[in-house]
A = this chain, B = another copy of it.
Amino acid sequence: MLTERQSLILQVIVDEFIETAQPIGSRNIAKKKQITYSPATIRNDMADLEDSGYLSKTHSSSGRIPSEKGYRFYVDHIMSPLKLSQEEVSIIKGQFDERMIELEKVMQNSAHILSELTKYTTLVLGPEVYETKLKQIQIVPINKQSAIAILVTDTGHVEHRSFAIPSNVDQSDLEKVVNILNEKLVGVPIIYLDQMIESEVVDLINRYTSNFEQSYRILQQALFGSQSSSLYVSGKSNILMQPEFSDIEKARSLFNMMESEEQIAPILKANKQGLNISIGHENQVEAMNNCTLITATYNMGEDQVGTIALLGPTRMEYAKAVSLLDLWSSYMSQSLDSWFNEG
């Protein structure tokens, strides 16, 4: 375990490095007013900290920089939550002051605001569509051969998908099916729609329409095919501002990763309830090996419904990032609660 003094030195080094991105030497540490020891003493502790893996050097006679283990210790044992400025608090709060109607807009705005406040990239993963409930199904024919199915959920989410109408399916068949679906399925969680249809609706449809097979299968495919997920990313270009990504190659690989939703969504989903910090190689994905990802979940009642995350260099302003995410997710959870209680 670290001594009191070692811990203090580690703290100074991490704080300083977060700010300057430069290796820190013993003399500079000694100048800090919290520090009452001579450079030599500090050097000894620094050597110990390096031996136990909390610090490392860029070359044999350079100052020290925190290792991933060092950040980990800082995050777990040293860091204290940052008091956010009045302005920061009110920007986030303001976001939730208006009546929330469309969840998607809120998430979009949130991503934007947080990336502005932190200068990191913000990722917001909304509630899975199938965790919400069906509000209404609509079919809008576009021309003789095609139509659009629109599905609205109780979160105000609108999902739509086009499909071709086979020539032997009459439009009135489709209408009947839609009517039945609406009658029976409104209020059902999207995740249960499939089972529900099989168990309750199939017979009914068969009774009323002649072309059940086609009209139903088509609809099913259109509505329950690949769910468009709800990932909002903002401030991608902030990454370019970080000196650790002045190496174009690193920036490129991160950008490539962020362009594919399929890669990011599972990473965000994998995190547990509450706050999670993944530092450097704790991230499985190689492109993120010199990044830190901080995720926070938000809830609806007891259930975790979504995740928000900040992605930055390992040299991240941990205290600020954590405080902002904490604040945001509590507002968000609260907002979701009142939304569903009033609604």
Contacts and interface: CB of A to CB of B under 8 A. Distances in A.
A138 B241 CA distance: 45
A162 B102 contact: yes
Nearest to A164: B99
B342 A101 contact: no
A127 B105 CA distance: 23
A145 B99 contact: yes
A113 interface: no
What is the oligomeric copy number?
2
A203 interface: no
Interface in A247-261: 248, 251-252, 255-256, 259
A240 B251 contact: yes
Contacts of A152: 140, 142, 148, 150
Contact of A158 (B101, B102, B146, B158): B158
Given A156-B162, A255-B236, A136 B140 contact: yes
A119 B252 CA distance: 13
Contacts of A5: none
Contacts of A136: 140
Nearest to A258: B237
Given A237-B256, A255-B240, A150 B158 contact: yes
Contacts of A256: 237
Contacts of A237: 252, 255-256, 259
Contacts of A342: 143-145
Interface in A125-170: 135-136, 138, 140, 142-146, 148, 150, 152, 154, 156, 158, 160-164
Interface range, A side: 35 or more
A241 B255 CA distance: 11
A156 B135 contact: no
Nearest to A342: B143
Contacts of A255: 236-237, 240
Interface string A161-188: 1111000000000000000000000000
A39 to B, nearest CB: 35
A138 B150 contact: yes
B146 A101 contact: yes
Interface in A298-326: none
A101 B164 CA distance: 8
A99 B158 CA distance: 24
A164 B98 CA distance: 11
Interface of A: 99, 101-102, 105, 135-136, 138, 140, 142-146, 148, 150, 152, 154, 156, 158, 160-164, 236-237, 240-241, 246, 248, 251-252, 255-256, 259, 342-343
25 contacts: A101-B146, A102-B148, A102-B161, A105-B162, A135-B142, A136-B140, A138-B138, A138-B150, A140-B152, A142-B152, A142-B154, A142-B343, A143-B154, A144-B342, A145-B342, A146-B343, A148-B152, A150-B150, A156-B162, A158-B160, A236-B259, A240-B251, A240-B252, A241-B252, A248-B248
